[in-house]
Amino acid sequence: MNNRNITRSVMTTVTRILLFAALLLTPLPALFAQSTIGTDGHVGCLDNPKKISRLEITKPGVYENFLLDGNGASGNLVKITADNVTVRNCEIFNGSGNAIGVFAPNVVIENCRIHHMLAGTFKEQHDAHGISGRWGNLVIRNCDIGLVSGDCIQFDPDRASSGSVTIERCHLWTGPLPAAAAGFKAGERPGENAVDTKTKPTGPRCVLKIHRCVMHGFNQPAQIANAAALNLKENVDAEVKECVLYDNEIAFRVRGPGKRGGSHVTISDCAIYDTQFGIRAEDKVEQLKITGLGFGKGVGERIRFVNGKAGPGYESKGEHTAPPMESLLKTGFKARPAP
């Protein structure tokens, strides 16, 4: 064997060793990760949950496997005032206030099911949110939130905080109630938005990330006009990526400058189906960056500008016909080639 062949053989052996070492160091979830859109795996309580009617969290730690029936109570059924808290595998329902109120930083809420948070009546709308509270390094992951008379997720109703909220692999929805509940009749559709943003009018922008979520059902007849899955407004920098939105009056309601500021929004690799307006861009929105947005069947109008065209920060590229929704939910979005 000549020197050139020996060198080639040594290099091949070294490469194989390095690849094998990399595989050994790679966590198994990363090796077998799936492109899941929406919830994945078990959501809600595990076996033998602890049954309660209210939970106040004042110390750091992990709080899991609670079955919380609010019995119609108002206020925050779960109130978090300690930082470094994880709430996991809980089911929270039957209240007239918020299911979870977050008033501390560094909180994770995962694998939870929230439903039937209902205040007022269909004709007299009152807020009862799924998760609400203060901005502040919050992660909401793999949760199913639906049938609330406010928003599935809203931050910050008091416009008194700044920080970040990340929502990933969640199912956020509403629809006609299957049976009468609280002040609502069977067949009435509660709720306003899947996600609604409220912020301080000045200071650093709050940061919102919504990744790989499914949002649907925010359609008429509704408790409000302009029912939208996403109501992105005020002083927020929002990124929506690899999400599926269907059966909504409006998928993205993107709102420009007002007395509390205007949203900056980036939409990447999302798909919209069975919706009257894909995007409603209002009030000369300053920054709206859209890449790889797919439109499927049943979309009436892809984008509508209200109260003026968008500003110079508007761009849209890669618009296409979305694949059938059922296949997309199974296989996920294909990775786009690097520019």
Say what the pLDDT of residue 11 is: 40
SS3 category, 168: strand
Instruction: Give 264's strand partners.
Output: 237, 287
> Residue 188 corresponds to which amino acid?
E
pLDDT over threshold 50, residue 166: yes
For strand 66-69 and strand 91-95, is the pairing parallel, antiparallel, or unpaired?
Answer: parallel
Q: Report domain extents, the chain.
A: 1-33, 34-331
CB 40 within 8 A of CB 64: no
- The confidence band for 2, taking pLDDT boundaries of 50, 70 and 90, is low
Considering only CA atoms, which of 134, 125, 238, 269 is closest in space to residue 191?
Answer: 125
235 alpha carbon, distance to own chain's centre? 18
Considering only CA atoms, which of 178, 125, 192, 134 is closest in space to residue 158?
Answer: 134
Say what the pLDDT of residue 17 is: 37
Q: Which fold has domain 34-331?
A: Pectate Lyase C-like (2.160.20)
Question: What's the CA gap between 43 and 61, in Å, rounded?
Answer: 20
Which pLDDT tens digit goes with each residue over 186-218? 999 999 999 999 999 999 999 999 999 999 999
Cβ neighbourhood burial of 124 (10 Å; 0-12, 13-18, 19+): exposed
Instruction: Give 148's strand partners.
Output: 117
**pTM of the entire structure?**
0.90
